[in-house]
Structure 1
């Protein structure tokens, strides 16, 4: 415990802050978890494993808690699946007991409402902010509150979260008998629900440490699942007010997720999933593979994420983003998993994600088709006679050719029916390892202009080769790409694949549209499954511009 004095901030600082949202979060501290000695000696009986939660309004410096309220539009509720614990000797609906009484029996675990106070003459503060000086010593025999549970963090015998200081007065407004559920134990209940009342500090309450400004607004003890939905009004440094509601804000009301929380006696474990690589991805041997995981914890914090390949640990990360690069996989099929560990030592394992490593080289391309482009970085899926022509997120299929650098007309290798994904990604995972020279990459599509890489691309070494046609017109030979917003796309409209968009393509479209041709056809320029005037419009524009293939 430490001695600390409250200070006021200059009004000039307040003016700088008035436009901000002053309530950063509702911070919940697991203050204590009862053990068998507590359970056997408490008055009344305290169920084994009961958790004492301290609820703080975490404010920006200079802001003050004015009231915690319920209204017809925004009810306030606290409930548990069992009952609230109320200490019979000294318990009350506010922490009005003395420091001496706080040291008796299980008084420090009583359930109550507050605007900063933890007992007479002492303010509440998160244990992590307490320096451990002057810690309360329980006067019971046997001594109670000695448990050192991992689920409660710092034990009360080391840092008790009590700071001597000037205690704000808490005023009840319209709570009536509802507040008796947090009384002296005479009323036993599991629900506190108000629609026209509040507990308030009429002059506003600040936290005992101005820089962190956490104001204790309630302490609740229960062995059940605890749930709350809170609404809070705070005062701003410029003497204004802000209202925060658990749901359905209107007007200038604000909502933040932490106003609603559900807490379990044993905290929920973390959650983790592997987001990269995509399942069934293929990589060349020796490739640097990026592993990425998403991890979260609704009742704690993620302490670390560890990755495993085929059950063997390959790396640990202690902060987000949980991403590492790994290049140790041998040829064959592999599985990557991630294990998240939270601050309570609880763990969770991700679902496994499989990937393959091949001795072949991998070609990764990024490109967009003008004819299918639908928005920033996205293409629509080509349609057939009964809907999507291709499964999953395949937009269409291409032919990718490698042409000799010295004699560009010579095709060294060709890959047909290659999937073009809606996000512009193309992966060719069957490039023979014997191809180790430099080659022009040529893209052919059923009704688009044949497009070449700007220069030969090297395939020396092992692993993956990447080339992006979408980043600049200069990525294509002769800068033969169409600018579409922030991207560049392969010109469309060459329905007869003669290397130029002209009248012959228009004639083919005209005939097909007259015949009401439907389905997956080269004449369907925009891939919507039917040949009509919209296909003619694209050809008309590109033929006017004399769009044609440009080759070395």
Structure 2
């Protein structure tokens, strides 16, 4: 088992009041993990957490203490590269080397990014490095190293094993190596805290010390030097979707359309698309998608094949994360009835011989296999014409 967090108490001395503007926000970027990262669970998201500080402010620690715990959770498990590839686990505080971070799956490892050396690479939000060419940092788009040659990263690398899904501590602290302070690489002053990759919902709660002020994630009778900051306690999930139409056990005839409808809510963003699926004989496939939810999420299924189908829906959020399947509705498509042609059972004329120019009266008796009163016309031909 790897070491996870340093079990150190947070000791603050010489604390003075500081403007609440020392911390301006918490930024969490949701980076969809591509299929090329084969060791990572399908549909996983890499959550990158940044502390956004005022210009000139410095981050001393991300921490927890009695009454203000540190909690990091997922509804499934956190991805860890070294566990996934069965290599020797790095201990807490080890180098995060280029061989790991440049690996297609390794770059989506779950790790803590504090305790770096002063010259090491850091990461910035995608808005500040949208093509990964900022010198000396981890690229934001791919999670791989950028073009710079600044010192070797020294990260708290191994965040959890693949079997862990939660952490709770009231004595944990992540701080800069040697007890120094950290500022962001640009004037925006955003400091990268860590990356946490999971295919489930993700949530965190912690406290940070910026300058001499501790910003807490819970309001537990804070002292004057503590500032309650609700953004330090956040939950991030994927869309929750409910299939509302058709009704259960719907039966239709082949050739008739089926209207599929769903509702979808994203707890921390917006729903951009709803995908509708069918499961038939154990195989699941996409029916179609609605990318415009202005009039509700729906799809007109016009080519339903004969058989029994279980219909589900999944919402997709603005981070391209697809949520879990909705409830299921069963639709049975019966074959269209066979339309056998009418049968002429008798064909007679009013007499057997006629004078030139005389009318010929022909009478036909017709039987339709589909039932009485279904024949709409009878065509008569002479010599097949």
1:21 alignment counterpart: 21
Cα deviation for residue 342 of structure 1 reads 7.7
Per the alignment, in what secondary structure is the counterpart of residue 81 of structure 2?
A: coil
| Whole-angstrom CA distance in 2 between matches of 1:297 and 1:164 | 40
Describe the superposition over 1:182-241 as per-residue Cα deviations: whole angstroms up to 9, x where unpaired: 15x4x73111111112111111111111x1111011111111111111111111xxxxx0
Describe the superposition over 1:441-495 as per-residue Cα deviations: whole angstroms up to 9, x where unpaired: xxxxxxxxxxxxxxxxxxxxxxxxxxxxxxxxxxxxxxxxxxxxxxxxxxxxxxx
2:166 pairs with 1:191? yes
The 1:307–1:86 alpha-carbon spacing in structure 2 relative to 1, beyond 3 Å, is closer
2:232 pairs with 1:232? no
1:243 corresponds, among 198, 214, 217, to 214
Tell me if the contact between 1:23 and 1:58 (Cα under 8 Å) persists in the aligned partners. Answer: yes
1:472 alignment counterpart: none
Describe the superposition over 1:86-123 as per-residue Cα deviations: whole angstroms up to 9, x where unpaired: 11148644572222432124211111112275999321
| Whole-angstrom CA distance in 2 between matches of 1:207 and 1:81 | 31
1:203 corresponds, among 177, 180, 191, to 180
Structure 2 unpaired stretches of 5+? 1-16, 242-264, 273-291, 296-315, 322-385
* Greater relative contact order structure (CA < 8 Å, 6+ sep): 2
1:101 alignment counterpart: 100
Per the alignment, in what secondary structure is the counterpart of residue 122 of structure 1?
A: coil
Cα deviation for residue 54 of structure 1 reads 0.8
Q: TM-score, normalised by structure 1?
A: 0.36
Describe the superposition over 1:271-303 as per-residue Cα deviations: whole angstroms up to 9, x where unpaired: xxxxxxxxxxxxxxxxxxxxxxxxx97524799
Cα deviation for residue 343 of structure 1 reads 4.5
Q: How many residue pairs were aligned?
A: 230
The 1:123–1:199 alpha-carbon spacing in structure 2 relative to 1, beyond 3 Å, is same
2:142 corresponds, among 153, 156, 170, to 156
| Whole-angstrom CA distance in 2 between matches of 1:165 and 1:74 | 36
| Whole-angstrom CA distance in 2 between matches of 1:101 and 1:344 | 25
Cα deviation for residue 156 of structure 1 reads 2.2
Cα deviation for residue 167 of structure 1 reads 7.4
2:268 corresponds, among 283, 299, 310, to 299
| Whole-angstrom CA distance in 2 between matches of 1:33 and 1:81 | 17
The root-mean-square deviation of aligned C-alpha atoms, in Å, is 4.1
| Whole-angstrom CA distance in 2 between matches of 1:106 and 1:86 | 9
Tell me if the contact between 1:95 and 1:118 (Cα under 8 Å) persists in the aligned partners. Answer: no
Tell me if the contact between 1:61 and 1:212 (Cα under 8 Å) persists in the aligned partners. Answer: yes
2:275 alignment counterpart: none
Cα deviation for residue 267 of structure 1 reads 5.0
| Whole-angstrom CA distance in 1 between matches of 2:271 and 2:190 | 22
Tell me if the contact between 2:68 and 2:217 (Cα under 8 Å) persists in the aligned partners. Answer: yes
The 1:193–1:120 alpha-carbon spacing in structure 2 relative to 1, beyond 3 Å, is farther
Per the alignment, in what secondary structure is the counterpart of residue 219 of structure 1?
A: strand
1:80 alignment counterpart: 74
Describe the superposition over 1:46-100 as per-residue Cα deviations: whole angstroms up to 9, x where unpaired: 2111111111111111111111111111111001111111111486445722224
Tell me if the contact between 2:239 and 2:266 (Cα under 8 Å) persists in the aligned partners. Answer: no
The aligned runs of 1:427-438 (5 Å cut-off) are: none
Describe the superposition over 1:408-460 as per-residue Cα deviations: whole angstroms up to 9, x where unpaired: xxxxxxxxxxxxxxxxxxxxxxxxxxxxxxxxxxxxxxxxxxxxxxxxxxxxx
| Whole-angstrom CA distance in 2 between matches of 1:107 and 1:91 | 13
Per the alignment, in what secondary structure is the counterpart of residue 128 of structure 1?
A: helix
Per the alignment, in what secondary structure is the counterpart of residue 204 of structure 1?
A: coil
Per the alignment, in what secondary structure is the counterpart of residue 299 of structure 1?
A: coil
Tell me if the contact between 2:71 and 2:205 (Cα under 8 Å) persists in the aligned partners. Answer: yes
The aligned runs of 1:40-55 (5 Å cut-off) are: 42=39, 46-55=40-49
Cα deviation for residue 254 of structure 1 reads 1.0
| Whole-angstrom CA distance in 2 between matches of 1:90 and 1:110 | 15
Per the alignment, in what secondary structure is the counterpart of residue 123 of structure 1?
A: coil
2:198 alignment counterpart: 222
Tell me if the contact between 2:102 and 2:145 (Cα under 8 Å) persists in the aligned partners. Answer: no
Cα deviation for residue 132 of structure 1 reads 2.3
| Whole-angstrom CA distance in 1 between matches of 2:58 and 2:151 | 15
| Whole-angstrom CA distance in 2 between matches of 1:248 and 1:195 | 15
The aligned runs of 1:138-537 (5 Å cut-off) are: 155-156=141-142, 165=150, 182-183=159-160, 185=161, 188-201=163-176, 202-209=179-186, 211-235=187-211, 241-249=212-220, 250-252=222-224, 253-264=226-237, 266-267=238-239, 299-300=268-269, 343-344=318-319
Tell me if the contact between 1:95 and 1:120 (Cα under 8 Å) persists in the aligned partners. Answer: no
1:114 alignment counterpart: 113
More deviation, 72-81/114-123: 114-123
Task: Indicate the structure with greater helix content.
Answer: 1
2:367 alignment counterpart: none
Cα deviation for residue 30 of structure 1 reads 1.2
Tell me if the contact between 1:60 and 1:213 (Cα under 8 Å) persists in the aligned partners. Answer: yes
